[in-house]
Homo-oligomer: A and B are copies of this chain.
């Protein structure tokens, strides 16, 4: 396996006839998927998603790919091909189109519908090209062919990219449920045809590469829901991802079977299920779905609420119900709540908090630890092997995963018979050139996390997040001193205040005399420089707090000159 180097140089110029592949996101963390392909001076982008922050990125709303390496080449971009409509594949499109709004978006009907809804909120009307499986499109020097893949959202596609440098297959996110609800299986036969033609480079979904075996079919969730509905005496509330149309379909079917009507709750659920219905992806019997008002008036045992909030988001519909502050819905003894969804790593604390609050309010909460109400959307190791054995690629670039997933996928690739030196294990910003049928890591481009917080993009970096973590862990102590700008003499303060440090009102009684004393000594030594005095205050407070509390709050000394 080729290993990424920690300190790679910028890449050399791309040799004539070579294809350059630069993953700007998706490798090293699950999210902000984005890969740039370059051939003959032209660029093709596959996916443009966001990453959701974890506890190490407090206060951050979203993390974007770093567009810097392509920002001055946006005119060369032929298109953004979107494999499917999940946020980690489409969420950053508005941020890229903010730089240049006329880059064409290429994707399936459902995918583009979700992107367009998102862009509409920002009043961007994109150029789009709707494609379907089996279709070929010529996008500059890139000949792109689309293949059906099965995933946890309808209408997902893999893309094959042909240039004179060779044939590349990018699977997008996929699994190989052999009996999917919509009968639209991952096109293994199509991949076999590509394999026969000769796939020079495979980029393939690593998310479940650590997990042995095969996925449980989505349709096996139906009978589980059925059993839950059969037992439920009161209201049933189901939460899932607002894009998981097939999961919702099974909830609708179970509701119909048990004589319950369904109301969609949560803005994105209402919107997406409307789109899915209009596109014929969601089958709704007449009279089955009702509005919120009607649902509130129906007897509880006749209603299912299909809600957002399966990841414990406090502002989601289910989050508000758990907190007891949903405008219409109050959880009561006898309610059954089903979290028919994955638990995205990092969300455990929030999700279990929601479950506990619902339980405390009297609900019977069923989640994936308790019953088989969720199956993953990503191919585990057994299915990845099927794919590798059918495609038999010359080179493998594992994508869509944290390091543990990428490395597991790389091992599977080697086990399947790919030469270890042709398995390119790399991370965001690494540059891989496909030249003469060989994929090689040749350099690295900047690939920082670009943080969105409120309205601003990119004014927050790692050192600022360190400050936030420090403030969050220990609070701060502020000490303000006023000095005469001419003499440098202390004329006011020290005023000491703190937040997040101690609730003891006498906490600072000891330290104020220490600061005063230190300032007097400084005055005696003729130290009048504000910066030096600031450092003195910082040191005095820091030593005291460490000795007295063994804590490390941030210390914020301010010297004001008057």
A interface residue numbers (CB < 8 A to B): 3, 28, 54-56, 58-59, 210-212, 345-346, 348-349, 352, 355-357, 359-360, 362, 364-365, 369-370, 402-404, 406-408, 411, 453-456, 459-461, 463-465, 467-469, 471-476, 478, 480, 482, 491-493, 495, 497, 499-504, 507, 548-551, 554, 556, 558, 560-562
User: Complex formed: what's the CA distance from A369 to B378 in Å?
Assistant: 15
Q: Nearest Cβ in chain B — how far from A451, in angstroms?
A: 10
> What's the minimum C-beta distance from A333 to chain B, rounded to whole angstroms?
8
Known: A459-B507, A551-B453. A467 touches B369 (CB 8 A): no
B475 touches A471 (CB 8 A): yes
30 example contacts (A-B, Cβ-Cβ < 8 A) are as follows A55-B55, A59-B472, A59-B475, A210-B369, A212-B370, A345-B352, A355-B404, A356-B403, A356-B404, A359-B402, A359-B404, A453-B551, A455-B548, A455-B550, A455-B551, A459-B504, A460-B503, A464-B500, A464-B501, A464-B502, A467-B500, A468-B474, A468-B500, A469-B472, A471-B475, A471-B499, A476-B476, A482-B562, A492-B561, A499-B556
A463:B349 contact, CB within 8 angstroms? no
In the complex, besides A359-B402, A459-B504, A480-B560, 4 extra interface pairs with C-beta distance below 8 angstroms are: A345-B352, A456-B549, A461-B503, A464-B475
B55, B365, B495, B556: the one within 8 Å of A560 (CB): B495
Q: In the complex the two chains form, is A59's CB within 8 Å of B476's CB?
A: no
Distance A94 CA – B406 CA, assembled complex (angstroms): 46
Q: State which of B28, B345, B480, B491 has its C-beta within 8 Å of the C-beta of A480.
A: B480
Least CB distance from A559 to B in Å reads: 9
Q: Which residue of chain B has its CB nearest to the CB of A357? A: B403
CB-based contact A474/B59 at 8 Å: yes
Q: Is the CB of B359 within 8 A of A403?
A: yes
Q: Is the CB of A459 within 8 A of B503?
A: yes
> Bound state CA distance, A548 and B473, in angstroms?
27
Q: State the CA gap A492–B562 with chains docked (Å).
A: 5
Is A404 in contact with B352, judged by CB distance below 8 angstroms? yes
- The answer to whether B454 touches A550 (Cβ under 8 A) is yes
Say whether A349 contacts B352, CB under 8 Å. Answer: no
Residues of B within 8 A of A352 (CB): 345, 402, 404
Question: Which residues of B sit under 8 angstroms from A456, Cβ to Cβ?
Answer: 502, 504, 549, 551
A500 to B463, CA, bound (A): 8
For A212, the chain B residues whose CB sits under 8 A away are 370
Nearest to A402 among chain B residues (CB) is: B356
CB-nearest residue of chain B relative to A465?
Answer: B500
Closest chain B residue to A545 by CB distance?
A: B454
Q: A56 touching B349 by the CB < 8 A rule?
A: yes
Tell me whether A59 and B210 are in contact (CB under 8 A).
no
Chain B contacts for A548, CB-based, 8 A:
455
Closest CB in chain B relative to A479 CB, distance in Å: 10
State the CA gap A493–B503 with chains docked (Å).
29
Which residues of B are found within 8 Å of A211, using beta-carbon distances?
369-370
A493 to chain B, nearest CB (A): 6
- Across the interface, do A473 and B364 meet the contact criterion of CB distance under 8 Å? no
Q: Within 8 Å CB of A497, what residues of B?
A: 556, 558
Taking a contact as CB atoms closer than 8 A, the residue among B348, B403, B454, B551 that contacts A454 in the complex is B551
* Interfacial chain B residues near A54, Cβ < 8 Å: 349
Query: Are A360 and B403 in contact, CB atoms less than 8 angstroms apart?
Result: yes
With contact pairs A356-B402, A499-B556, A502-B459 given, residues A562 and B472 touching in the complex (Cβ less than 8 Å): no
Q: Which residue of B402, B468, B507, B550 is within 8 Å of A475 (Cβ)?
A: B468
Residue A348 contacts which of B345, B469, B478, B503 (CB distance < 8 angstroms)? B345
